[in-house]
């Protein structure tokens, strides 16, 4: 080694391994993206190839054309997914931010009881409550509406918990000062609490976006009409069911379109998310 340029072997090995493992984790996603751009001739090459040679948009055309000639166009599924996801994210943010303020900052009776209930509901999956939720939705005649796919998911325990934990560290003197200046609680909420909650709101948006966008379950259960189904269901249909590999190119193109938004939302929100998650601690 040249003097003065000491090479730290331990550190390099560490970076090498961590990077290799990181790339290995990304590999399935890269493969999917590459498949989405493969021309038909390359899809069934033997031996199989990881990367495309001549990239093409053909699969995306196919996706819009082929499924367009069936009775529900693919864009309809995208539209449905967008409506439901935006509903869950937007509605959830309003409902949780409103509730997080008093739960974190007001000293009313039953406050800790309500907070404990939220912690308690972190401990089981909402999937175990699907039967009564389904009965409620079908009995009030909401089947095949967007609302049915939205309202059961608005009161999310994980998002609510994070929001309250984050709101707890809003400095009390700030709120006091506003009260002395004669601001009402509503005014305080809008002009102080909401701006300070921004990182928690971004985090809530990320988590509920991922959940709502990826979950095939609401459309599977609350929608019986094909034109109310969502993107995950459409992708299942294209794939031809479990274990079947049919129309790989279109399937990969659809999957690619589905995964891109979640990654984008994460890249946009990541800084604020890490800020929020620092307050995610749970104590008995």
Partner 1 sequence: MSSTATTKTVPGTDRPLSPGTGKPSKMSLLWANIKRHKLSYLFLAPFLLLFTFFTIIPIFTSIGLSFSYYNMIESPRFIGLSNYRLLFVDDDIFLKAIGITFNFAMITGPVGYIMAFMLAWLISQVPVKYRFFYTLCFYTPSITSATAMSVVWLYLFAGDRKGLINYWALKLGIIQEPYLFLQNVNSIVPVIIIVSLWMSMGIGFLAFLAGLQNVSKELYEAGAIDGIKFKLQELWYITIPSVKPQLLFGAVLQVVFSLQVFDVSVQLVGIPSPLYAGHTILTHLFDYAFIKFEMGYASAIAVVLFLIMLGLNRLIFKWLGRD
The interface with partner 1 within residues 219-278 (CB under 8 A) comprises: 220-221, 232, 235-236, 239, 241-245, 248, 251-252, 254-256, 258-259, 262-263, 266-267, 270, 273-278
Q: Does residue 55 contact residue 37 with C-beta atoms inside 8 Å?
A: yes
Q: Please name the residue that has the structure tokens 């400095």.
A: 171
Closest separation between CB of residue 58 and partner 1, Å? 16
- Quote the Cα angle for 226-129-234, to 5°: 20
Measured from the CB atom, the residue of 86 and 158 that comes closer to partner 1 is 158
Binding flag, residue 32, partner 1 (CB under 8 A): yes
Q: Which of 2, 5, 25, 225 binds partner 1 (CB under 8 A)?
A: 25
Question: Which of 1-9, 60-68, 82-90, 183-191 is the region at the interface with partner 1 (rule: CB under 8 A)?
Answer: 183-191
Contacts of 235 (CB under 8 A, 6+ apart): 251, 254, 255, 258
CA–CA dist 122, 51 (Å, integer): 42
Q: Which of 83, 86, 98, 178 binds partner 1 (CB under 8 A)?
A: 98
Question: Residue-wise over 222-250: b if at least 16 C-beta within 10 A, else e?
Answer: bbeeeebbbbbbbbebbbeeeeeeebbbb
- Quote the Cα angle for 192-198-200, to 5°: 120
Helix (H) or strand (E) holding 123: none
Binding flag, residue 142, partner 1 (CB under 8 A): no
Binding flag, residue 28, partner 1 (CB under 8 A): yes
Closest separation between CB of residue 5 and partner 1, Å? 19
Binding flag, residue 281, partner 1 (CB under 8 A): yes
Question: Which of 1-9, 59-67, 82-90, 147-155 is the region at the interface with partner 1 (rule: CB under 8 A)?
Answer: 147-155
Residues 58-77 that bind partner 1 (CB under 8 A): none
Measured from the CB atom, the residue of 68 and 215 that comes closer to partner 1 is 215
Question: Which of 52-60, 63-71, 115-123, 141-149 is the region at the interface with partner 1 (rule: CB under 8 A)?
Answer: 115-123
Please classify residue 19 by burial: count the beta carbons closer than 10 Å to its beta carbon, then call 0-12 exposed, 13-18 middle and 19+ buried.
Answer: exposed
CA–CA dist 200, 211 (Å, integer): 16
């Amino acid at each position: 080694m040249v003097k003065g340029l000491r090479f730290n072997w331990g550190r390099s090995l560490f970076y090498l391994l961590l990077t290799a493992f990181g790339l290995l984790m990304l590999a399935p996603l890269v493969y999917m993206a590459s498949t989405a751009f493969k021309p038909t001739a390359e899809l069934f090459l033997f031996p199989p190839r990881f990367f495309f040679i001549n990239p093409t948009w053909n699969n995306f055309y196919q996706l819009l054309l082929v499924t367009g000639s069936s009775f529900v166009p693919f864009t309809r599924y995208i539209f449905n997914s967008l409506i439901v996801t935006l509903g869950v994210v937007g509605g959830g943010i309003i409902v949780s931010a409103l509730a997080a303020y008093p739960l974190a900052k007001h000293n009313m009776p039953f406050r800790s009881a309500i907070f404990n209930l939220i912690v308690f509901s972190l401990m089981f999956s909402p999937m175990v409550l699907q039967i009564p939720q389904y009965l409620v939705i079908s009995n009030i005649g909401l089947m095949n509406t967007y609302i049915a796919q939205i309202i059961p998911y608005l009161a999310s325990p994980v998002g609510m918990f994070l929001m309250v934990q984050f709101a707890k560290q809003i400095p009390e003197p700030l709120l006091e000062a506003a009260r002395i200046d004669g601001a009402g609680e509503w005014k305080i909420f809008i002009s102080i609490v909401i701006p300070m909650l921004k990182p928690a709101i971004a985090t809530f948006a990320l988590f509920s976006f991922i959940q709502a966008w990826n979950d095939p379950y609401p459309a599977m259960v609350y929608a019986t009409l094909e034109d109310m189904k969502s993107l995950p269901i459409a992708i299942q249909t294209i794939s031809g069911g479990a274990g079947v590999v049919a129309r790989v190119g279109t399937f990969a193109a659809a999957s690619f379109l589905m995964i891109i938004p979640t990654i984008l939302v994460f890249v946009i929100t990541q800084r604020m998310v890490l800020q929020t998650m620092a307050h995610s601690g749970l104590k008995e």
